[in-house]
Structure 1
Amino acid sequence: MSVSAESVLALPAASERQRRLFGFGMTAPGALATSVLVLFALGVVLFLGFRTNDGSLLGGAFTLDNFKAALTDPLYATVILRSLAIAGLVTLATVVTAYPVAYYLAFHAGKHRALLLFIVTLPFWTSYLLRVFAWKVVLAFNGVLNSALMTAGITSEPILAFLNTPAAVVITLAHAYAAFAILPIYVALENVPRSLIEAAEDLGARPTAIFRKIILPISMPGVMAAALVVFVPTVGDYVTPALVGGPNSTMIGSMIQAQFGKANDWPFGAALAVIVMLVILAVVIVARLADKRFGSRT
């Protein structure tokens, strides 16, 4: 006899074990399928990294030359550091601009909250490439920004410094991932107990003190989640640097894509991808430890 979710959750005598088994049964198939697919993809990449490039799909003999070349060539170290720096700036810019938006949604939006949340997610209705091209149009030599500056009389000729720069990459990526930062911070702010804020107000605490001692510490898990959600994918982004960045904006994702594409050296590209994944993992672990030590302690 089949049992519906409503009946299981509504049974007053249902034990904690039954509830856990029901939750496990609901989540296990999707979690298992996702884990198998992710682990399989990672396994293939790791396997390829230790193969020689003989033109076949899975490479030739086993070798460590791919990792040696990637770790000893200063070019790749420079590009990885540049990628981490750009991703860090994108994360900082995104979180700093997303927090006030999430704060307004959580505490001041009122009946307009649903509409504003819809507007926040509206850019996802369009293609990521279209959003990148839109920024390219804005920042181009004869683009919207240069036209506005010349019309206002601020400049007499177009400025070349807007497009094909690391700043253009940071601005474009920060806009592309804005919603990814706003939503987790908003959820964290929604969970701030209003009773604590009311108690602090009754005791005469100023708004700045309430924010600094109550709201910000409780919302830090959401801030950390937003930072990681933005940082991890931006490190390996290769579309945005290729479209709005210049030679000084090349990121490691572009070099990995080139190895799998024009260079047709999948093993070396896989080795680069593994190294980047390990670097990102190290950064995430350090950030998590720092958060536990100095941050939210959750």
Structure 2
Amino acid sequence: MRIGERLHQFFRSEKGVGLLLVSPTALYALLLLAVPLIAIFAISFLTQTGVRDFEPGLSLVNYREALTDPLYRQLMLRSLMVSGLVTLITVLLAFPIAYFVSFGVKPEHKSLWIFLITIPFWTSYLIRVFLWKVILGYNGVLNSGLQAVGLIDEPLTFILYNVNAVVITLAHAYAPFAILPIFVALEKIDRSLLEASRDLGESRTMTFLRVTLPLAAPGVVAAVLIVFIPTIGDYVTPRLVGGPGGLMIANMIQTQFLRLNNAPLGATLAVLAMLIVAVISILFLILGHRAAGGGKANGGRK
């Protein structure tokens, strides 16, 4: 009876009501996210002997093959390189835009700029990828324009169906995802801290490096994670504009599941990719936390 009374009191309290409100969403997320991940993890330990036949018991054969085969290592390294390069380019280009909108645009016009930044979302992702094929093609807009102004004599061949095309397309596609979190972080910065830094004799450059940039670190880290995590698992863009030399690990995972009917090896590659992404993401979170802590400390001392 006491347990029933305690449960009744708990669910009538603010925490209990909150738990009841969150529970359906949490259960929905658990079913859609956790269960498939657990299934992929379990399948990775199976050994396939036929199209739908598996050996009894669990094995590490798939992990040994995935870690020792040069093809899989090359695809994983290429995926990390492409994702890292896309993330670097996107964040470096997004930060000045976010900084301009936050500090250089009048408050009443900021919503208009954010609206303009989100315009690429109006079109399908596939349409944007195909448009880049038109732009970067052998007789595309870029080559035709460069030839028209006399900068090149013959079309460039290194900008399509290779890693370069994948990087360009992904950097454009994920640019808004990087701009928005950085803009939000910059908007949260107390302008009085910047004024105090200038009053204490710091230049604009040093104020930016010692105050603005550290305080914007959470937004930068969020932008890095938002861009890096999905790009390493992208398989549509490499398939359409990457060519044989631009394929990534996600394309191999798709091939193992849908073409070779080797679900255990595909699941193994997926698990390894997720582990690598998780480790890198944790490192970025730690670095971002330290940078933000340093910025707060500098702001407090000033």
TM-score w.r.t. length of structure 2: 0.87
Looking at structure 2, the residues matched to 231 and 124 of structure 1 have their Cα atoms a distance apart, in angstroms, of: 19
- Report deviation, 1:196: 1.1
Looking at structure 2, the residues matched to 250 and 130 of structure 1 have their Cα atoms a distance apart, in angstroms, of: 20
Alignment of 1:250-265 (within 5 A): 250-265=247-262
The Cα offsets for residues 139-191 of structure 1, whole Å up to 9 and x where unpaired, read as 00000000100111111221111111211111110111111111111110011
1:289 matches 2:286: yes
From 140, 151, 163, the equivalent of 1:154 is 151
TM-score w.r.t. length of structure 1: 0.88
- Which residue is equivalent to 2:180? 183
Alignment of 1:52-201 (within 5 A): 52-53=47-48, 54-56=50-52, 59=54, 61-62=56-57, 63-110=59-106, 111-201=108-198
Same amino acid, percent of matched pairs: 48
The letter of the residue matching 2:74 is: T
Q: Residues 21, 117 of structure 1: CA spacing in aligned structure 2 closer, same or farther, 3 A cutoff?
A: farther
From 38, 44, 53, the equivalent of 1:43 is 38
Q: Point out where structure 2 has 5 or more consecutive residues left out of the alignment.
A: 1-11, 295-302
- Which residue is equivalent to 2:220? 223
Tell whether the 8 Å contact from 1:48 to 1:59 is kept in structure 2 after alignment: no
- Report deviation, 1:204: 4.0
What's the secondary structure of 2:293's corresponding residue? coil
User: Which one is further off, 114-123 or 192-201?
Assistant: 192-201
- Report deviation, 1:270: 0.7
The Cα offsets for residues 53-97 of structure 1, whole Å up to 9 and x where unpaired, read as 3333x9553332222211121211111011101100000000000
Q: Residues 181, 22 of structure 1: CA spacing in aligned structure 2 closer, same or farther, 3 A cutoff?
A: farther
Q: Residues 19, 104 of structure 1: CA spacing in aligned structure 2 closer, same or farther, 3 A cutoff?
A: farther
- Report deviation, 1:28: 3.7
User: Which one is further off, 88-97 or 62-71?
Assistant: 62-71
C-alpha RMSD of matched pairs (Å): 2.0
- Report deviation, 1:24: 4.3
- Report deviation, 1:23: 4.6
Tell me how many residue pairs correspond in the alignment.
Answer: 280
